[in-house]
Amino acid sequence: MRRGPRIVAIDDLVVITAISHKTGNVLAWRSLDGGASWSDSADVNDEVRSAREGLHDLAAGPGGLLFCTWLDLRNGRTQVYGARSEDRGKTWEKNVHVYTSPSGTVCECCHPSVVTDQSGNVHVLWRNLIDGNRDMYVTTSEDGGQSFGRAEKLGVASWQLNACPMDGGDIAVDSDGELRTVWRHDRSIYSAELGLKQEKFLGRGEQPSIAATLDGCYISWVDRRGGDLRLMQPDSATPITVETKASDPVLAASFSGNGPIVLIWESKQDDVSSIRLAIVRE
């Protein structure tokens, strides 16, 4: 779950990353004309087959900065790595070690997430594995993704689990420059600010996504795969139900926080699957 390509767009620049099942490498393609034509693929990871787990994320920042992060297996255990591009996705710099768990591996099948802020800081979110606890952690780079600081646990509770929930959460930066996170703990969805602060219960469910606007954050999730799709809006403490029989929702917004908020998900009605879209804010 959550494998597949990622996309960012800045004016006429569009960059797509994806992980090859054949080679186990992260590849990037870019278009300079809004998607009318595309470049050949560029390598993102610099160690062959190290991204074969297939889970990654991509973010764009100010000045055309791009940062890609993924679960990496170059050392035999699952670590978090990344790479940045300063030439609008044409080439990617030497890979950066983002995090290694003291247990030797982070959670093996939960996707990482990345976001940049207006100052060019890069923030990476992942599910860790320490002493059997599969909790969410965040680390920040203050030099545009060249190096990362100390990892911080989110929330005060821990989830003891001898399995991977395949659910990595999501991260956004609000209009005040503060990090906002959302993730699954057991069968519930929580959000929290950075650091060991009390997490906020949002509802029962899984597969959360978050997008930030100048008006606040929108959060979506499903109560179960193939179940009800929930949407929490900035001025509401109660989620609304967008659709039933939904899976894998994703929210998207512009880097500036202006413009529409788009919600996309997979729907299954009478054994027919489709991809559906709703504009939840104009």
- The Cα–Cα gap between 162 and 107 comes to 10
Give the model's confidence band at 271: pLDDT under 50 very low, under 70 low, under 90 confident, else very high. confident
Phi then psi dihedrals of residue 112, to 5 deg: -80, 165
Tokens of 183: 């993730």
User: What pLDDT does residue 58 have?
Assistant: 98
Comparing CA positions, the residue from 225, 219, 176, 235 lying closest to residue 205 is: 225
Give the model's confidence band at 196: pLDDT under 50 very low, under 70 low, under 90 confident, else very high. confident
User: What pLDDT does residue 186 have?
Assistant: 96
| Contacts (Cβ under 8 Å, ≥6 apart) of 49 | 23, 24, 25, 73
The answer to whether residues 92 and 43 touch, using CB atoms and an 8 Å cutoff, is: yes
Give the model's confidence band at 257: pLDDT under 50 very low, under 70 low, under 90 confident, else very high. confident
The SS3 of residue 3 is coil
Identify the residue with better confidence: 237 or 59: 59
Query: For 144-188, what is the HEC assignment?
Result: CCCCCCCCEECCCCCCECCCCCCCCCEEEECCCCCEEEEEEECCE
- The Cα–Cα gap between 166 and 10 comes to 30
User: What pLDDT does residue 270 have?
Assistant: 86
For residue range 7-17, what is the model confidence (pLDDT) as tens digits?
Answer: 999 999 999 99
In the predicted model, is pLDDT for residue 206 greater than 80? yes
Across the chain, mean pLDDT equals: 95
User: What pLDDT does residue 247 have?
Assistant: 95
In the predicted model, is pLDDT for residue 258 greater than 90? no
Using alpha carbons, list the distances in angstroms from residue 70 to 5, 81, 144, 145, 264. 12, 6, 17, 13, 22
- The Cα–Cα gap between 170 and 168 comes to 7
In the predicted model, is pLDDT for residue 1 greater than 80? no
In the predicted model, is pLDDT for residue 241 greater than 90? yes
Give the model's confidence band at 255: pLDDT under 50 very low, under 70 low, under 90 confident, else very high. confident
In the predicted model, is pLDDT for residue 187 greater than 80? yes
User: What pLDDT does residue 175 have?
Assistant: 86
How much is the CA Rg of the chain, to the nearest whole Å?
A: 18
For residue range 99-156, what is the model confidence (pLDDT) as tens digits?
Answer: 999 999 999 999 999 999 999 999 999 999 999 999 999 999 999 999 999 999 999 9
- The Cα–Cα gap between 57 and 170 comes to 10
